[in-house]
Chain A
Amino acid sequence: MSAKDKTLPQPHPFMANSAPASYRELLRVAEVKEIDEVFEQIPTDHLFKGKWKVPRGIKSEAQLSKHLTSILRKNISAEDYTSFLGAGCWNHYVPAICDEMVTRTEFSTPVWGTPSSDHGRNQVWFEFCSQLGELVGMEFVGLPLYSYGTAAGHALRMAARINGRKKILIPASLDPERAKVIRTYAGFKELNGFLDVVTVKFDKKTGRLDLADLKAKLDKEVCAVYFENPNYLGALESEAAEISKLAHSVGAEVVVGVDPISLGIIAPASQYGADIIVGTTQPLGVHMNAGGGVGGFIATRDEERYAKEYPTLQVSLTGTTVPGEMAFGLTLFHQSSYGSRENGKDWTGNSVYLWAVANATYMSLMGPEGFVDVGNSIIARARYAAERINKLKGVKVLWRDGFFKEFVVNFDKTGKSVKKINKKLLKHEIFGGKDLSDEFPELGESALYCVTEVHTLEEIDALVDALKEVTA
């Protein structure tokens, strides 16, 4: 082969064997003369012969960095402006050590391993499950799922496999985005495993689930009642124990979605009747990442009837062949889709396991006192913001009591749309609350505001001043 051979690769920093000498050695040992020989299985009429639009490579990191930075600089982040957006992706403080751990090459690049070769990471996973179990008050926790909504979807399907019923009740106040995910998981009536999704009204006076409507819809066909605490509109379901009792009275499973950052000050759902707890993991030390930081979990009591329906992978603490040594092995692997293909419980695959590293680090840093501390900091700031906003002319906080970090602000009496208000807030370097006017027309021109521990007194006051100006 001549050095001019067009198929000879060009040296590239990501490919050791692109060096001509290495490549030639591969050819020699593999007994290949022309590279096309190794593609002999592919019929020639399958090969693409046109022109590519993808440009040639940028081999210089300096050049590539400049290219990427020049694009990404067009973004304006929550560091540049003050953001009051929440609605499924929340702006919480991410401790520096969480970022350190998820950028460790040992954690960020590997694929799988064994209980001994990747012992450290398996231990992190176990610590993630153990600590999350402490927060939610459950003893059986699976490895993380894609998101809050997918965790809820899988949990409801678990419930259907457990009691064989088909009807699931979800609150009308549910995040429309999570509701869409749940409906996807519920399937179509023409096919197997279909779940009939029925919505339960929420009380317009409190933002909480309408218990009368719940009672009316509960019967022996109800598989599961799903509700969240706090709910999408921010309200804490203070009658959660009553909801669980009603659901249990017809033999339904109680599936509750929670925000784990609230659980230093708010009771775990296991104490008010939850059978399956799901939720988000993003608030526990993971950046928003434009929605790419979300993750979910499923937790239950350590009972066979629940454990044997998990779709996830699980790690269990166990021993090695040496007495006293810890290992972390997989439990109930065979019921996953890896173990049993289409006969497994739903399916699993790559999930958001790296975020479990951030979550475990976060929970260890916070400890029991840190969770109380952050819970108080959030609930106080959110209440302060709501109280001040509610005093603005024409602006009303719909449910001023019993919320955690999110609350609904109604602008009907200002005569201005949320859309307009949010556009104007941008000039004040503020991302206003999520516009609810399309999702919940019955709430009029309303927005969902999220206030967390990251919002200072000054930033909240600046929001109030800006709102005063733009709604005037």
Chain B
Amino acid sequence: MIKSKIRKYHAAVWDEPLVMDLSQPGRRGAFAPAIEDEITDSVGDPSALVPTALKRKVAPELPELSEFEVQRHYLHLSQQTLGMMGISLFGTCTMKYNPRLNERLVYQPFVAKMHPHQDPETMQGILEIVYSFDEILRDLSGLDKFVFQAGGGADAAYTMATLTRAYHAARGELAQRTEIITTVQAHPCNPATAAAAGFKVITLPLEKDGYPSLEALKSVLSNRTAALMVNNPDDIGIYNPQIKEWVKAVKEVGGLCFYDHANFNGVMTRIRAADLGFDACMYMLHKTFGGTKGGGGPAVGAFGCRKELVPYLAGPTVEKNSDGTYFLKEEGPKSVGRVREFFGNVPVVIRAYSWTRAMGIDGLRDAANISVLANNYMEKRLLAIKGVTKGLPELTKRRLEMTRYSLGELTAETGVTTVDVQNRMTDYGVDAFWLSHEPWFIPEPFTPEAGELWSIEDIDYWIDVLEVVCEEARKDPEFVKNAPYNQVVHKQGSTNLDDPKNWATTYRAYKRKHASKK
């Protein structure tokens, strides 16, 4: 039953051309500082300073535009981006409010114009915040040290894979310990980074309880086991209650245990990685901790571990002197080295620190409660929509902060798929929802996550739009299949972009391949 008044919505349409096509010869958008006469007198013609063999002969075909034209072009493109301007319940990514205060702060020189190799005495403010946030995460996880070098959750998983290598190599066991175990419901970055780090990957599928059995895990544990990489709860909303036994079993054969805490929002202030026995864990500061997402970073996968593993951490770490000042400590000989340059996306750490201080321990508790409660609220309303079913419906315990649903019945009835529905919902100002990570064992999946940000009215509106679209699908499937209509542009055409004859990641390639169309 529809509760909201469905608004009239249409995306901004500027029909904005490619910036390259706006170019007019001779226009200038920016000048570098003019070279002072004294410098010219001293060094002569700058172009003579480039070795002859390396002089650029053909200018790049970049656009020539005035400053205002560039500004207006990118403003138009920003307006042609729906993102969080409407409602976005993008599951697994935990859409949060990104306080403007943080933007105001991190673009000031005291953050933006800092260099990572400055004398530590000149960067005490940054080091203090990084260290203080490390302390906050230690408290929330029970672990002993966090680093922020990883540029996202996947990079933190890679940090774990490399730490696993370093740990077993230091003990002379790496040649034997070549297997990393994960589950089918772990985010793809876990098996992918384990494989990229050179490990064999063993995947445990779900069984009747909605998670792999302890027995299945035990069947593959051996002295070849290097590590376990899992998340819990998973993004179907199911919590593995045997996780302590899992960790114990892996440790008994000498493996390390990594907790991918991508889905931390619902269990904040209830579960601590260390209490469950894990050796290491990862939090996404750009998701759970209120940092900006930027359409895909800059992000931070905060990686924490027990003190026994600290010597293996990627360096440098931020440490505190006895006099209360802070310094950067280079990694020791056992360290994995670096997974990325420098000590992290500092502005994201500052945003996360700020958000967490604004929330406080009481706010984190409330946020977790509201997230899980709102998901249960959604479930009641979503399952009342014809064509929507719950993933693994036989598991009746209440799901945590998200649930995976299926539009399989709607598809069977109308041929309209979850991707079609996703496209059509954007016609109502609702950003594209999350489907599912690979593999899709729940047919036509979608995974909303209400979190603590969205109001009950926003959640209702989202659900109402879905219901309206399901009705449309039954009335006129072709109409829904060809959506969107109120967006900046229409549905992407059916050209196969995996065909080398078609793909064009640059305009130059496009013009070469599709000259006849222009």
Given A75-B124, A290-B346, A365-B70, is A10 in contact with B366 using a C-beta cutoff of 8 Å?
yes
A241: CB under 8 A from chain B?
A: yes
- 7 closest cross-chain pairs (CB), A and B: A57-B360, A191-B198, A291-B342, A349-B154, A110-B83, A354-B294, A120-B80
Q: Which of B305-362 contact A (CB under 8 A)?
A: 336-350, 353-362
Complex interface: stretch among B44-52, B385-393, B405-413, B467-475? B44-52
A469: CB under 8 A from chain B?
A: no
Choose one: B201, B380, B489, B506; the contact of A31 (CB below 8 Å). B380
B456: CB under 8 A from chain A?
A: yes
A332: CB under 8 A from chain B?
A: yes
Q: Which of A208-250 contact B (CB under 8 A)?
A: 229, 236-241
Q: Which residues of chain A have C-beta atoms less than 8 A from B358's C-beta?
A: 13-14, 57-59, 61, 64
Q: Which residues of chain B have C-beta atoms less than 8 A from A456's C-beta?
A: 33, 36
B394: CB under 8 A from chain A?
A: no
Could you say which of A130, A194, A267, A388 has the most chain B C-beta atoms within 10 Å of its C-beta? Answer: A130
User: With the chains together, A457 CA to B41 CA distance in Å?
Assistant: 12
Contact with B along A331-361 (1 / 0, CB 8 A): 1101001111111101111111111010011
A42: CB under 8 A from chain B?
A: yes
The residue in chain B whose Cβ has the minimal distance to the Cβ of A98 is B74
Are A267 and B54 in contact, CB atoms less than 8 angstroms apart? yes
Q: Which residues of chain A have C-beta atoms less than 8 A from B423's C-beta?
A: 114, 116-117
The residue in chain B whose Cβ has the minimal distance to the Cβ of A95 is B30
A442: CB under 8 A from chain B?
A: no
Given A55-B361, A316-B505, is A288 in contact with B113 using a C-beta cutoff of 8 Å?
yes
Choose one: A23, A75, A89, A317; the contact of B504 (CB below 8 Å). A317
Beyond A40-B398, A291-B341, 11 additional pairs, beta carbon < 8 A: A10-B366, A14-B367, A38-B372, A42-B241, A54-B139, A72-B108, A83-B118, A93-B33, A291-B344, A317-B18, A330-B497
Are B30 and A42 in contact, CB atoms less than 8 angstroms apart? no
User: With the chains together, A337 CA to B194 CA distance in Å?
Assistant: 11
B207: CB under 8 A from chain A?
A: no
Choose one: A53, A157, A350, A373; the contact of B299 (CB below 8 Å). A350
User: With the chains together, A95 CA to B126 CA distance in Å?
Assistant: 24
Are A106 and B111 in contact, CB atoms less than 8 angstroms apart? no
B507: CB under 8 A from chain A?
A: yes
Chain A nearest CB: distance from B379 CB in Å? 8
Given A97-B71, A320-B493, A329-B492, is A384 in contact with B370 using a C-beta cutoff of 8 Å?
no
Chain A nearest CB: distance from B278 CB in Å? 12
Q: Which residues of chain B have C-beta atoms less than 8 A from A289's C-beta?
A: 106, 111-112, 114, 345-347
User: With the chains together, A14 CA to B491 CA distance in Å?
Assistant: 34
B8: CB under 8 A from chain A?
A: no
B248: CB under 8 A from chain A?
A: no
Given A72-B125, A78-B115, is A30 in contact with B373 using a C-beta cutoff of 8 Å?
yes
Q: Which residues of chain A have C-beta atoms less than 8 A from B400's C-beta?
A: 38-39, 41
Contact with A along B70-110 (1 / 0, CB 8 A): 11011111111111110010100101111101010111111
Q: Which residues of chain B have C-beta atoms less than 8 A from A16's C-beta?
A: 453-456, 458
Are A23 and B155 in contact, CB atoms less than 8 angstroms apart? no
Q: Which residues of chain B have C-beta atoms less than 8 A from A77's C-beta?
A: 109-110, 112-114
The residue in chain A whose Cβ has the minimal distance to the Cβ of B499 is A331
Are A265 and B360 in contact, CB atoms less than 8 angstroms apart? no
Are A56 and B361 in contact, CB atoms less than 8 angstroms apart? yes
The residue in chain A whose Cβ has the minimal distance to the Cβ of B122 is A76
Chain B nearest CB: distance from A80 CB in Å? 7
The residue in chain B whose Cβ has the minimal distance to the Cβ of A131 is B62
Are B122 and A431 in contact, CB atoms less than 8 angstroms apart? yes
Complex interface: stretch among B214-222, B251-259, B269-277? B269-277
Chain B nearest CB: distance from A140 CB in Å? 5
Given A110-B83, A292-B348, is A146 in contact with B295 using a C-beta cutoff of 8 Å?
no
Contact with A along B258-300 (1 / 0, CB 8 A): 0000000001011110011000000010100010111111110
User: With the chains together, A363 CA to B62 CA distance in Å?
Assistant: 7
Could you say which of B31, B110, B353, B426 has the most chain A C-beta atoms within 10 Å of its C-beta? Answer: B110
A1: CB under 8 A from chain B?
A: no
Are B397 and A41 in contact, CB atoms less than 8 angstroms apart? yes
Q: Which of B464-484 contact A (CB under 8 A)?
A: 482, 484
Q: Which residues of chain B have C-beta atoms less than 8 A from A107's C-beta?
A: 78, 81, 83, 294-295
The residue in chain A whose Cβ has the minimal distance to the Cβ of B452 is A15
Are B341 and A370 in contact, CB atoms less than 8 angstroms apart? no
A392: CB under 8 A from chain B?
A: no
Could you say which of B39, B340, B491 has the most chain A C-beta atoms within 10 Å of its C-beta? Answer: B340
Are B336 and A121 in contact, CB atoms less than 8 angstroms apart? no
Are B109 and A111 in contact, CB atoms less than 8 angstroms apart? no
B441: CB under 8 A from chain A?
A: no
Are B56 and A111 in contact, CB atoms less than 8 angstroms apart? no
Choose one: A65, A337, A351, A402; the contact of B297 (CB below 8 Å). A351
A193: CB under 8 A from chain B?
A: yes
A376: CB under 8 A from chain B?
A: yes
User: With the chains together, A272 CA to B203 CA distance in Å?
Assistant: 45
Are A380 and B49 in contact, CB atoms less than 8 angstroms apart? yes
A287: CB under 8 A from chain B?
A: yes
Q: Which residues of chain A have C-beta atoms less than 8 A from B269's C-beta?
A: 48, 52
Given A26-B377, A351-B152, A384-B43, is A288 in contact with B362 using a C-beta cutoff of 8 Å?
no
Q: Which residues of chain B have C-beta atoms less than 8 A from A196's C-beta?
A: none
The residue in chain B whose Cβ has the minimal distance to the Cβ of A178 is B341
Are A57 and B42 in contact, CB atoms less than 8 angstroms apart? no
Given A116-B491, A139-B509, is A89 in contact with B295 using a C-beta cutoff of 8 Å?
no
Are A354 and B339 in contact, CB atoms less than 8 angstroms apart? no
Are A377 and B32 in contact, CB atoms less than 8 angstroms apart? yes
Q: Which of B143-180 contact A (CB under 8 A)?
A: 151-155, 157-158, 162, 165, 169, 174-175, 178
Choose one: A12, A120, A307, A327; the contact of B81 (CB below 8 Å). A120
Q: Which residues of chain A have C-beta atoms less than 8 A from B297's C-beta?
A: 146, 350-355
Q: Which of B25-42 contact A (CB under 8 A)?
A: 27-36, 38-40, 42
User: With the chains together, A439 CA to B207 CA distance in Å?
Assistant: 53
Given A30-B380, A113-B431, is A287 in contact with B113 using a C-beta cutoff of 8 Å?
yes
Are B337 and A180 in contact, CB atoms less than 8 angstroms apart? yes
Are A89 and B29 in contact, CB atoms less than 8 angstroms apart? no
Chain A nearest CB: distance from B212 CB in Å? 16
Are B115 and A91 in contact, CB atoms less than 8 angstroms apart? yes
Q: Which residues of chain A have C-beta atoms less than 8 A from B178's C-beta?
A: 190-191
Are A147 and B151 in contact, CB atoms less than 8 angstroms apart? yes
Q: Which residues of chain A have C-beta atoms less than 8 A from B292's C-beta?
A: 108-109, 354
Chain A nearest CB: distance from B286 CB in Å? 7
16 contacts between A and B (CB under 8 A): A25-B456, A29-B380, A30-B380, A76-B118, A110-B84, A110-B293, A117-B484, A141-B505, A191-B199, A192-B200, A264-B56, A292-B344, A321-B490, A327-B492, A346-B192, A347-B196
Are B361 and A384 in contact, CB atoms less than 8 angstroms apart? no
Contact with B along A405-425 (1 / 0, CB 8 A): 000000000000000001100
Q: Which residues of chain B have C-beta atoms less than 8 A from A115's C-beta?
A: 489, 492
Choose one: B29, B373, B398, B453; the contact of A370 (CB below 8 Å). B29
Chain A nearest CB: distance from B316 CB in Å? 10
Contact with A along B1-29 (1 / 0, CB 8 A): 00000000001000010111001000111
Q: Which residues of chain B have C-beta atoms less than 8 A from A106's C-beta?
A: 78-79, 81, 83-85
Chain A nearest CB: distance from B260 CB in Å? 12
A449: CB under 8 A from chain B?
A: no
Choose one: B51, B200, B377; the contact of A402 (CB below 8 Å). B51
Q: Which of A116-166 contact B (CB under 8 A)?
A: 116-121, 123-124, 126-127, 129-131, 133-135, 137-143, 146-150, 157
A3: CB under 8 A from chain B?
A: no
Are B492 and A318 in contact, CB atoms less than 8 angstroms apart? yes
Are A9 and B370 in contact, CB atoms less than 8 angstroms apart? yes
Given A83-B115, A266-B55, is A109 in contact with B46 using a C-beta cutoff of 8 Å?
no
Q: Which residues of chain B have C-beta atoms less than 8 A from A177's C-beta?
A: 338, 341-342
Are A355 and B298 in contact, CB atoms less than 8 angstroms apart? yes
